[in-house]
């Protein structure tokens, strides 16, 4: 799953495994937002987001009915319970019950110390710097609390807003994977970016 709008991104993370069985769900906060566990009451908001063509154009997942989005709700919970992922609901601090997007880690392979992270945001909240603010906290959590060493982001070249966003976060372009993904009847390229823990730490220390 690749997220290629300003509010959509995919990242691969390498580091120590995170065991959901031994730790409580980590609620994170930014200056303006809370990142919390996704619960059953969030299902209508998840459906609204993942049925909106503006969100799903580059996201790779979409649902036609509220009932069908239960699959995504089950997935959010399952990856946490089995220790293969960790996804947060994005909410404003003023309305923590109102989910406006999601972000997190999945496909966490302990053998290779590898996982992916992605996010989507309701179009009503685009242009408010929500994802950059939340992404900084997620990256910090990955490096400082999950013991990760490397973050990798894959973005379509046409998705200018997203690769500009990750470049501002300090990611470096490593190259382009040519026609590595088949989508909507055509092959697409993906730009490969990476960020190391020491690079992120250096960036934080400079501020």
Q: Please report which confidence band the pLDDT of residue 5 belongs to, taking 50, 70 and 90 as the band edges.
A: very low
**Closest to 57 in 3D by CA, of 126, 1, 130:** 1
pLDDT higher at 137 or 85: 137
Q: Please report which confidence band the pLDDT of residue 203 belongs to, taking 50, 70 and 90 as the band edges.
A: low
- CA dist 7 and 131 (Å) reads 6
CATH superfamily of this structure's domain 9-205: Gcn5-related N-acetyltransferase (GNAT) (3.40.630.30)
- CA dist 148 and 141 (Å) reads 9
Asked if 168 and 133 touch (Cβ cutoff 8 Å), the reply is no
Q: Please report which confidence band the pLDDT of residue 10 belongs to, taking 50, 70 and 90 as the band edges.
A: very low
Asked if 90 and 42 touch (Cβ cutoff 8 Å), the reply is no
- CA dist 34 and 42 (Å) reads 14
Asked if 170 and 164 touch (Cβ cutoff 8 Å), the reply is no
> What does the pLDDT read at residue 204?
64
- CA dist 161 and 117 (Å) reads 18
> What does the pLDDT read at residue 207?
55
Asked if 35 and 90 touch (Cβ cutoff 8 Å), the reply is yes
Q: Please report which confidence band the pLDDT of residue 161 belongs to, taking 50, 70 and 90 as the band edges.
A: confident
- CA dist 153 and 4 (Å) reads 10
pLDDT higher at 185 or 68: 68
pLDDT digits (tens, 9 = 90+) for 107-135: 776 677 767 777 899 999 999 999 999 98
pLDDT digits (tens, 9 = 90+) for 48-84: 999 999 988 887 789 999 999 999 999 999 988 988 8
Query: Mean pLDDT, the chain, as a whole number?
Result: 84
pLDDT digits (tens, 9 = 90+) for 163-179: 888 898 888 999 999 99
């Amino acid at each position: 799953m690749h997220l290629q709008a300003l509010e959509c991104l995919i990242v691969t993370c390498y580091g120590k495994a995170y065991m959901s069985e031994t730790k409580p769900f980590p609620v994170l906060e930014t200056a303006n937002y809370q990142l919390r566990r996704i619960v059953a009451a969030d299902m209508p908001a998840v459906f609204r987001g993942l049925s909106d063509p503006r969100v799903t154009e580059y996201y790779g997942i979409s649902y036609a009915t509220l009932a069908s989005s239960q699959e995504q709700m089950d997935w959010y919970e399952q990856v946490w319970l089995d220790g293969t992922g960790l996804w947060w609901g994005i909410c404003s601090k003023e309305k923590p019950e109102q989910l406006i997007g999601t972000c997190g880690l999945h496909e966490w392979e302990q053998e290779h110390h590898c996982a992916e992270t992605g996010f989507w945001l309701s179009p009503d909240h685009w242009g408010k710097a929500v994802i950059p603010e939340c992404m900084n906290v997620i990256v910090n959590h990955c490096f400082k609390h999950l013991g990760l060493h490397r973050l990798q982001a894959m973005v379509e070249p046409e998705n200018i807003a997203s690769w500009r966003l990750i470049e501002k976060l300090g990611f470096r372009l490593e190259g382009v994977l040519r026609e590595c993904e088949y989508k909507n009847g055509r092959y697409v390229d993906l730009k490969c970016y990476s960020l190391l823990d020491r690079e992120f730490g250096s960036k934080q220390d400079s501020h």
